[in-house]
Structure 1
Amino acid sequence: MRTFGRHARLTATAVVCGTTLALATLAAPAQAGTGAGSGASTGTTGRSAERAALAPGDGWGSAGTGTTGGRAADAGHVFTVTTWAEFRAALAKAAGAPSIIRVKGTLDALSDEQGTPRTCADYAAPGYSFAQYLADYDPAVWGYENPVSGEQEDLRAASAKQQAAQIMAYVPANTTVVGVGRDARILGGSLQVRNVDNVIVRNLTFEDAYDCFPQWDPTDGDVGEWNSEYDNLVVYGTTHVWVDHNTFTDGRRPDSAQPRYFGRLYQQHDGLLDLVRGADLVTVSWNVFADHDKTMLIGNSDSAAADDRGKLKATLHHNQFRNVKERAPRVRFGQVDTYNNHYVAERPENFGYSFGIGIESQLVAEKNAFTLGAGVRPATILKKWKDAPVTTADNYVNGRPVDLLAVHNAEIPEETLRPDAGWTPTLRTAVDPPRAVPRVVDAGAGAGKLR
C-alpha cells in the first residue's frame, strides 16, 4: 500500500498539476473495514467498505458491466491521504488503474502542500477589490440591462480561475474514494468525475464547496442575482457511478449566515451533487443532503439534448434530504427512479419543491416519505418546469398516504402535470414500506455509518 501522510517512514516527490507535492510511501497493507453498510439493503458486495462493489440489481449503476470502482486494486494502488495535496497526488498516481484512495481526517481544499489553511485573499488576482466591484456594478450605476464587464469583472474571473485550479480534483476511471472511520471530510473541495467509467465515492462528508468570487449578473431575473460555481461532486459524461453513505452540507457557512448585496443573497454555493452532460448509469444511495439550496441537478440545460437524450439514467434510494430548498432532484431527459427517500422540510420559507419535472424527463417517485412542518404544502413537492409525465405512487406525507400528483394538480392547476413516466423500474433490491422509511433512512444514511 502507498500511504500519503505526515508520519510515513519514506518520502518521495511527485509533480501533479504543475505543483510539486511531497508524497510518502509505506509498505504495510491497507486496513480493511468489517462490513458494508447500514439499513435495509447495504447494496454492496465484498469484504469491506473500501473493497465493496455495487450489488447486482441495485439501481441504474448496476446495469451493464456494473460498478466496481477500485475493488481490484493491487497493493501499489491503495493510497491513504491526509491532506488535499496528497489526495490530488494520489488521483494522479491512480491514472485509471484500479485504485482505492482512503481519506483520513479532514482534507481542506484551500490549504497549502502541508495542509495549512489559506484564505480567499490568497487566490485574488492583483488589483481585484470586492469593494470596488460593488461600486462599479451597483445597479444604481450599472443598471440591469447588460451583463457586467470591465476591469473588476476581468479580475474577478481571473481570481475565480485561480481558486478553481486549487479546489477541483479529478477522479479517474476504476477508482474508489472512501472515507476512513467516522470523521473523513472534504472541506471546500469539488470532486470532478469527468468522462470516465466506474467510480465509487463512499463514507465522506462533503462540506462547504464555496465560491470565493461569485459573479453579479444584473440580467438574471428582474432584479439580478449572485451566481456561484463549484459543486461538491460533479458527475459529467461519466458512466457507472455509485455515490453511497456520504453527507453533503454547507456546514460552517450556511446561506442563512450570508450577507446581501444589491438586495440579493450573496450566494457562494452551487449544487451538492450534479449529474450532467451525458452522465449515465448512476446509483445514489444512503446519503444525507442537508441545509442547502440548489441540491441536485440531473441534466443541467434544456439545450443539452445531444448529450443527454437517452442517458442520465439514475437511481436515488434511501437518501435523506433534510431542509434543502429545491432540486431533490430536478430532472431533464433522464429515466430517474426515486424510491425510499426521506424528505424533511421544517419551514415553508426554506422550501421550494422536491421533484423538479423538466424537459423530456421520466421521473418515477414511489414509496418515499415526507416529513413536513407547519405551512409546508404537499402540493409543492412537485414542480413543473416543462411538460413531461411523472409517476408518483405510494408516497407518505407525515405518516399518511398522499397522491402527490393529484394534490399538485388540484392546488396548482396552472402547472398541471401528466401521469405515467412511461417506464417501470426493475433495478431495485430491498424496498421498504414508506411508513418505515423515516426510521430506516434516518438510522442508516450518511457518512460514518459504514461498518
Structure 2
Amino acid sequence: MPAPSHRRSLRKRRALVVSAAALVAGASAGALVLNANAGTVDLYHQTLAAKDGWASSGTGTTGGTKADAAHVFTVSTRAELVKALGSTSDKTPRIVRVKGTIDANTDDSGKKLTCANYASGTGYSLAAYLKAFDPATYGRSKLPSGTQETAREKAQDKQAKNIAFKVPANTTIVGVPGSKAGITGGTLEIQNVDNVIVRNMTFSATEDCFPQWDPTDGDDGNWNSEYDSVTLRGATHVWADHNTFTDAPRLDSANPTYFGREFQVHDGALDITKGSDLVTVSYSQFASHDKTMLIGSSDTDSSGKLRVSIHHNVWKGIVQRAPLSRLGQIHVYNNFFDTTTLNGYAPQYSIYSRAKAQVVAESNFWKVPSGGKVAKLLKGDGTGSVAGGGNLVNGTTTDVVAAYNAANSKKIKTTANWKPTLTAGLQTSAQNLPTELATTTGATVLKVS
C-alpha cells in the first residue's frame, strides 16, 4: 500500500468526489470555488496540478476555468457540441460538459448517418475502387489516382466535415460523471491552439469509411485510414486525463481483407504530432487498438518540442505505439502494460524510441504472459534513447532496455539528454500498479456526490 501522504495526493488528483450543490451553482455563476474542508472538487473548473508533467510547465494548463456563465455548456448531441465549441479563432475560455454519448455520425437533426450517406453523390463505390486499383492490373508502383480515387477523397471529406470536432484554445471538455459521457465515431481535433483539457470521456468506434489503398506501403501494400479519436497537431499545454479509448464495438477482427491486406478503418487513439508540445496524458485506459499513440508524425517533425508526460495509464490489448516517440523528451512512468492478447489484438511492442527520441521510462509494470519475450517490449531504430529504471516485468525488477539490446542489432541508447523534474505523483515502486490503476483510471471512476 502507498504511504499515507501518497494516498492523500492521489485522492486530490483523482477528483473522485464532486459537490452536486456546487455544480448547480456553477451552472449560473460560471465559476466555482474548491471546498477543501468538505473534500469536494469542482471537476469542471479543475486545472492541472503544479509539476504534473510537461503540461504544467510555464503557464500551466487551465483550460476553460476562467469561463463566464455564458460560456459554460452542457451538450448531449453532435449539433450541440459543434455549437458549444464555436470557432477555433475564438479564444474565449469555455467549459463544455458532455452528458451521455454523442454519436458523431448523425446530422444536425440527430438522424443517423452511414458510410453510404457520405458516399452519396461522390461517385465512389468500394467495388469500383477495388476494380480500379487491383494490383493485378493497376500495379504496385504508384499511388491510386483517377476517377475513383478522386471520388474516395470527396466521400472522405464529407465524413470529415461531419465527425471532426475542432477544439479552440482555452477549452475544457469534461464528461458528466455517471452519464456514460463520450464520443462515438468522432474525432477531437486540437490543432494550433493552446491550453486545452479533455477529461472523463470515452472515445470509441472512430472509423474511416473510406481508407486509401497504398500499394507502395511496405512489401505488400496497406490500407491507410484517417481520424484519430483525439489528435494534437501543433497544440500546446494539453491535459488528457481519465479518458478511455477503444475500437469497440467494431474490432479489427471484423475488418475484411482486400488485395491480401486488412481493410483498416482505425487510425490512432491519441496522436501528438506536428510540433505539439507540453502535453500530459494521465489516468487513462487504452484498450483493443492497434496504432495507439504516435508522438511525432515524421523523423523531422519538430525538434525541441514534442515534450510529453505519460503517467498512470493502463494499456491492454494494444498492438503497438504505447507510445511510438520521435525527437521529443518523453516521460513514461507508473503505467501498467498488459501484453496479453485481448479481443484478437496481439501486442507487438509497447514503447518505440526512434529518430533520436529521448524517452525516460521508469517505474512501469509490464504483465507478460507465459511464452512472451521481454525483448519485445521495446523497439528502436538505433538512434533513440530509453533511460530510467525501476521497471517491473511480472513483479520482478527488469532492465527492459538490456533485454531488447541483447536480442537486436539496432541498439537503444540508455541515457537521455534531460532529467524529468515535473514528476508529481511519481511512485518509485511499481509493484501495486496493476491493482491500483484498475480502479483509478478511465472514464468511469470520477463521480458526483
TM-score, normalized by the shorter chain, greater than 0.5: yes
Q: 1-side partners of 2:370 and 2:34: how far apart?
A: 39
> Contact 1:207–1:251 (CA<8 Å) still a contact in 2?
yes
> Contact 1:35–1:49 (CA<8 Å) still a contact in 2?
no
**Cα offset for 1:450?**
1.3
Instruction: Determine helix, strand or coil for the equivalent of 1:444.
Output: coil
> Contact 2:381–2:412 (CA<8 Å) still a contact in 1?
no
Post-superposition Cα deviations, 1:105-135, rounded to whole Å, max 9, x if no partner, equal 1111110112221101111143211111111
> Contact 1:369–1:395 (CA<8 Å) still a contact in 2?
yes
Match runs of 1:46-57 below 5 Å? 47-57=41-51
From 254, 262, 267, the counterpart of 2:264: 267
Correspondence for 1:439: 435
From 181, 197, 202, the counterpart of 2:199: 202
Instruction: Determine helix, strand or coil for the equivalent of 1:435.
Output: coil
Correspondence for 1:427: 422
% identity of equivalent residues: 48
Q: 1-side partners of 2:278 and 2:125: how far apart?
A: 44
What is the identity, as a one-letter code, of the residue corresponding to 1:282?
A: V
- 1:241 matched to 2:238? The reply is yes
From 108, 123, 129, the counterpart of 1:133: 129
Correspondence for 1:41: none
**Cα offset for 1:28?**
5.5
Instruction: Determine helix, strand or coil for the equivalent of 2:375.
Output: helix
Q: 1-side partners of 2:135 and 2:300: how far apart?
A: 30
Instruction: Determine helix, strand or coil for the equivalent of 2:431.
Output: helix
Q: 2-side partners of 1:327 and 1:118: how far apart?
A: 31
Q: 1-side partners of 2:288 and 2:85: how far apart?
A: 29
From 335, 341, 347, the counterpart of 1:341: 335
Correspondence for 1:327: 321
- 1:281 matched to 2:275? The reply is no
Structure 1: gaps of 5 or more residues: 1-26, 37-44
Label 1:46 to 1:359 Cα distance change in 2 as closer, same or farther (>3 A): farther
Q: 1-side partners of 2:101 and 2:311: how far apart?
A: 27
Q: 1-side partners of 2:203 and 2:306: how far apart?
A: 23
**Cα offset for 1:303?**
2.8
> Contact 1:392–1:403 (CA<8 Å) still a contact in 2?
no
Q: 2-side partners of 1:119 and 1:374: how far apart?
A: 42
Match runs of 1:188-199 below 5 Å? 188-199=185-196
Detail structure 1 runs of 4+ shifted over 4 Å in the superposition.
30-36
**Cα offset for 1:347?**
3.0
Equivalent residues, number? 413
Q: 2-side partners of 1:316 and 1:30: how far apart?
A: 34
Post-superposition Cα deviations, 1:375-408, rounded to whole Å, max 9, x if no partner, equal 3211111101341222031100111111001111
Correspondence for 1:4: none
> Contact 1:382–1:404 (CA<8 Å) still a contact in 2?
yes
Q: 2-side partners of 1:155 and 1:264: how far apart?
A: 22
What is the identity, as a one-letter code, of the residue corresponding to 2:396?
A: R
Q: 2-side partners of 1:291 and 1:444: how far apart?
A: 19
Label 1:127 to 1:93 Cα distance change in 2 as closer, same or farther (>3 A): closer
Correspondence for 1:367: 363
Correspondence for 1:42: none
Q: 1-side partners of 2:33 and 2:406: how far apart?
A: 50
> Contact 1:351–1:376 (CA<8 Å) still a contact in 2?
no
> Contact 1:319–1:341 (CA<8 Å) still a contact in 2?
yes
Correspondence for 1:71: 65
**Cα offset for 1:144?**
1.0
Q: 1-side partners of 2:258 and 2:71: how far apart?
A: 48
Q: 2-side partners of 1:105 and 1:309: how far apart?
A: 39
> Contact 2:364–2:391 (CA<8 Å) still a contact in 1?
yes
Correspondence for 2:28: 29
Match runs of 1:249-260 below 5 Å? 249-260=246-257
> Contact 2:187–2:206 (CA<8 Å) still a contact in 1?
yes
Q: 2-side partners of 1:248 and 1:223: how far apart?
A: 29
Q: 1-side partners of 2:257 and 2:148: how far apart?
A: 19
Structure 2: gaps of 5 or more residues: 1-25
Q: 2-side partners of 1:47 and 1:437: how far apart?
A: 24
Q: 2-side partners of 1:405 and 1:181: how far apart?
A: 40
**Cα offset for 1:364?**
0.3
Instruction: Determine helix, strand or coil for the equivalent of 2:81.
Output: helix
What is the identity, as a one-letter code, of the residue corresponding to 2:412?
A: L
What is the identity, as a one-letter code, of the residue corresponding to 2:154?
A: A
Q: 1-side partners of 2:149 and 2:79: how far apart?
A: 29
Correspondence for 1:416: 411
Correspondence for 1:118: 113
Q: 2-side partners of 1:154 and 1:286: how far apart?
A: 42
> Contact 1:232–1:272 (CA<8 Å) still a contact in 2?
yes
Instruction: Determine helix, strand or coil for the equivalent of 1:364.
Output: strand
From 163, 167, 170, the counterpart of 2:163: 167
TM-score by length of 1: 0.88
**Cα offset for 1:30?**
8.0
Q: 2-side partners of 1:204 and 1:139: how far apart?
A: 41
Correspondence for 2:80: 86
Label 1:102 to 1:311 Cα distance change in 2 as closer, same or farther (>3 A): same
Q: Higher strand share goes to which structure?
A: 1
> Contact 1:191–1:233 (CA<8 Å) still a contact in 2?
yes
